[in-house]
Homo-oligomer: A and B are copies of this chain.
């Protein structure tokens, strides 16, 4: 009986040449006409709310309260976008459409025992040096207007110590078990935790919607460039209203 080999994950280097389409690797999109020519399915124009989650990241005291330690960094954008009020409206509409609302928070034990103070990346070390974001303190308290009401089925994963909203929270497995295909992401900050969540969500296989009205950046110039250049590789950058409209279409046609 002849047997056929499966191959090494440490390769196979035989030469060979093939024509390569001239193009860059990292642009986000080509024209719809090109896609049609290749027979690719069109992108969704409607979303099923039952397969969609809204992930809000770090709507906590330091970012949302004028006395918060990080408030000053995001103040301008909060005000210009009326970000907090509009996010509250967004969440109410999302809940009423049947979207799963997920509140992801950051937090540490009082002695930071779960993180590594010697990591050369400064994030956790900085939190320790500032004695910041301890669970059970005012600083990790959640933005009251976003708290779920009696009948709301929002999820509150345990406070996380990783950058990505999926890091160490079990969120990926919960969303999959609930049939969630699409995630919309907003919160703090466009250039740090929200971005890491978006790249992670793409890698995990989700369809990602980056809610630009619902996020604020730490470094405005970098955030703008990211929204323009790299967010579109992993997500559709979209306004609150347009995202809600896509959901309403999905709801109507079910």
Binding site for B on A (CB under 8 A): 1-30, 34-35, 38, 40-44, 60-63, 65, 67-70, 72-73, 105-111, 113-123, 125-142, 144, 147, 153-164, 167-171, 173-179, 181, 189, 191-192, 195-196, 199-200, 202-209, 218-219, 221-222, 225-226, 229-230, 232-236
Contacts and interface: CB of A to CB of B under 8 A. Distances in A.
Task: Report how many copies the assembly holds.
Answer: 4
Contact of A41 (B117, B133, B191): B117
A222 B233 CA distance: 15
A94 to B, nearest CB: 16
A129 B235 contact: no
A12 to B, nearest CB: 4
A176 B204 CA distance: 7
B8 A107 contact: yes
Nearest to A164: B203
B126 A30 contact: yes
A221 B224 CA distance: 11
Contact of A130 (B20, B42, B113, B159): B20
Contact of A7 (B122, B156, B219): B156
19 contacts: A6-B107, A6-B142, A6-B156, A8-B107, A9-B109, A9-B157, A12-B135, A15-B141, A18-B136, A20-B61, A25-B106, A43-B118, A126-B233, A160-B170, A162-B173, A168-B174, A179-B181, A200-B200, A225-B225
